[in-house]
Amino acid sequence: MNNDPRIKIITGHFGSGKTEISINLSRIEKEKYQKVAIVDLDVINPYFRSREVNSYFQQLGVELIAPKGELATADLPIVSGEIYRVFNDHNYRVIIDVGGDKDGATALGQYYNEIKNLDYQMYFVVNVNRPYVSTVEGIMETVRQIEVVSRLKVSALINNSNLGIETSVDDIQRGHLITEQASKELDLPILYTTISSHLRNETKDFAKEHQVLYIDRFMRLPWE
């Protein structure tokens, strides 16, 4: 598996943390590449979508591809036609933030004929503390459904198991254990475990044994 493809597609269960991971990945890509685009393909969530941090992307120099203006705050199932520009211009590094579950991934399916010939990987984000993906069976079922509607194959799992601000090292380890079992059953590698950077000290030992990507949180509530 190519661990650093030009196009990274982030899928997963609803509320598994795809948007936070996508924003972080776009920041990392921007450190190495001139042209980076993040595609907000979320037609499921009405709030807390990557388009909400557009001012941050502008500051970073990352291009946001999402419905604009009044349509940005609508709950219409629309995607931006501009996505083709970054598919075809091979100078772009692309992160695609897909909506949750098979319903969100359905919006991805329309690009199958474009994507299949490009340098891409599709990741599946796991948070075992979410309902319906807390077991190996739940993860496998969601992966299967997303593959059917997107017509693309998941190439790796990302363990993003967390309990929001109450996340403990135990939660991360338990999540890793279940993701590991799912990884064996599905014959897919675990790309890494994503951990909120405020837990950097507590997770030093875990990070020695496992691939870890520390991420920052961008979707904040008005009292945070």
Partner 1 sequence: MGKVLMKGNEVIAEAAVHAGCKYYFGYPITPQSELVAYMAKRLPEVGGLFLQAESEVAAINMVYGAASAGVRVMTSSSSPGVSLKQEGISYLVGAELPAVIINVMRGGPGLGSIQPSQSDYFQATKGGGHGDYQIPVFAPATLQEIVDLMQDAFDIADRYRTPVYILGDGMLGQMMEPVEFTERKAAELPPKDWATTGTRGDGGPKITNSLRLDPDDLEKHNNHLQEKYSKIKENEVRFENYLTEDADYIVVAYGTVSRIAKNAIKKAREKGIKVGMIRPISLWPFPEKPFYETRENVKAYLTVEMSAGQMVEDVRLAVNGYKPVHFYGRTGGMVPSQEDILAEIIKMAGGDQ
Where do contacts with partner 1 occur on this chain (CB under 8 A)?
A: 14-15, 45-48, 73-75, 127, 129-132, 134, 162-166, 221-223
Q: Which is nearer to partner 1, 24 or 155 (CB)?
A: 24
CB of 114 to partner 1, least distance (A): 29
Record the tokens describing residue 179, joined without a space: 């993701």
CB of 126 to partner 1, least distance (A): 12
CB of 18 to partner 1, least distance (A): 13
CB of 112 to partner 1, least distance (A): 25
Record the tokens describing residue 212, joined without a space: 């870890």
Q: Which is nearer to partner 1, 12 or 15 (CB)?
A: 15
Q: Which is nearer to partner 1, 129 or 155 (CB)?
A: 129
Q: Which is nearer to partner 1, 93 or 102 (CB)?
A: 102
**Residue 126 CA from chain centroid, whole number:** 10
Q: Is-contact 143 149, C-beta < 8 A?
A: no
Give the 3-state secondary structure of residue 58: helix
Q: Which is nearer to partner 1, 69 or 222 (CB)?
A: 222
Alpha helices by DSSP H, listed for 130-209, are 136-150, 169-186, 204-209
Q: Is-contact 206 167, C-beta < 8 A?
A: no
Phi, psi of 36 (to 5 degrees): -130, 135
- Residue 221's identity, in one-letter code, is L
CB of 83 to partner 1, least distance (A): 23
End-to-end CA distance of the chain: 39
